[in-house]
């Protein structure tokens, strides 16, 4: 029973460490891409994620939704796309196209956006996770990042702390046994 509990605890710790490591590595990658290269949404393997920050696409996409975006070879009128405008990402629907010029508009907006070039489009929205964007945005914040980092440190150190405490207790028992033998 004790060995099974230990294996489950070790497995759980390993899985949590893997998740935290993947998140921290991804956060560092994204930070580098945005800060050093100016790419607000890197698309490794042709996919990216974006949190919805405004209500311009209501009711289909709400604030704090997490959207998975896929790069496409071509886009059509009616596609919901994410494009980069300066350092900002905007997710709106394509309402018109003329060659490499695209006009988008938020579903909840009355006015169309300034025309953009196809090259600014990061990709098409292909999936949505309702309200998951809030958690991602929190974890990307300095406080969230520090909490993740602290969690990783605790997960690394806690088992060693327990092992050291157990070893000290065993050493004390051995010392007490030696002392009893000496007294006899």
Evaluate the CA torsion angle 178, 180, 183, 184 in order and state its sign. Answer: negative
Q: Which residue has the higher pLDDT, 6 or 29?
A: 29
Tokens at residue 33, please?
Answer: 């891409």
Angstrom distances, CA of residue 83 to CA of 1, 38, 77, 89, 123: 55, 13, 15, 6, 7
Evaluate the CA torsion angle 77, 81, 84, 87 in order and state its sign. Answer: positive
pLDDT at 91 over 70: yes
User: Is the CB of residue 65 less than 8 Å from the CB of residue 79?
Assistant: no
Q: Tell me the mean pLDDT in the region 134-145.
A: 78
- Burial zone of 105 (CB within 10 Å; 0-12 exposed, 13-18 middle, 19+ buried): middle
pLDDT band at 4 (very low <50, low <70, confident <90, very high): low
Pure H helices in 40-109: none
Q: Tell me the mean pLDDT in the region 57-64.
A: 91
Mean pLDDT of the chain: 82
User: Is the CB of residue 69 less than 8 Å from the CB of residue 79?
Assistant: no
User: Is the CB of residue 82 less than 8 Å from the CB of residue 69?
Assistant: yes
> Per residue in 111-134, is it b (16+ CB within 10 Å) or e — as a string?
eebeebeeeebbbbbeebeeeebe
pLDDT at 137: 77
pLDDT in tens, 40-58: 666 667 788 888 989 999 9
pLDDT at 149 over 60: yes
pLDDT band at 1 (very low <50, low <70, confident <90, very high): very low
pLDDT in tens, 95-119: 999 999 999 999 999 999 999 999 8
pLDDT at 80 over 90: yes
């Amino acid at each position: 029973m004790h060995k099974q509990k230990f294996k489950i605890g070790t497995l759980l710790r390993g899985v949590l460490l893997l998740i935290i490591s993947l998140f921290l590595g991804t956060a560092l990658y994204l930070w580098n891409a945005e800060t050093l290269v100016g790419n607000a949404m890197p698309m490794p393997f042709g996919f990216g994620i974006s949190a919805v920050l405004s209500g311009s696409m209501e009711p289909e996409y709400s604030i704090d939704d997490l959207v998975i975006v896929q790069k496409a070879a071509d886009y059509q009128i009616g596609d919901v796309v994410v494009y980069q405008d300066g350092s900002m990402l905007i997710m709106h629907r394509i309402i018109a196209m003329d060659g490499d010029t695209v006009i988008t508009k938020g579903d909840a907006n009355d006015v169309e956006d300034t025309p953009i070039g196809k090259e600014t489009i990061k990709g098409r929205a292909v999936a949505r996770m309702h309200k998951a964007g809030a958690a991602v945005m929190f974890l990307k914040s300095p406080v969230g990042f520090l909490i993740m980092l602290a969690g990783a440190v605790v997960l690394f150190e806690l088992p060693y702390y327990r092992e050291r405490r157990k070893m000290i207790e065993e050493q004390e028992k051995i010392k007490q046994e030696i002392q009893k033998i000496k007294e006899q």
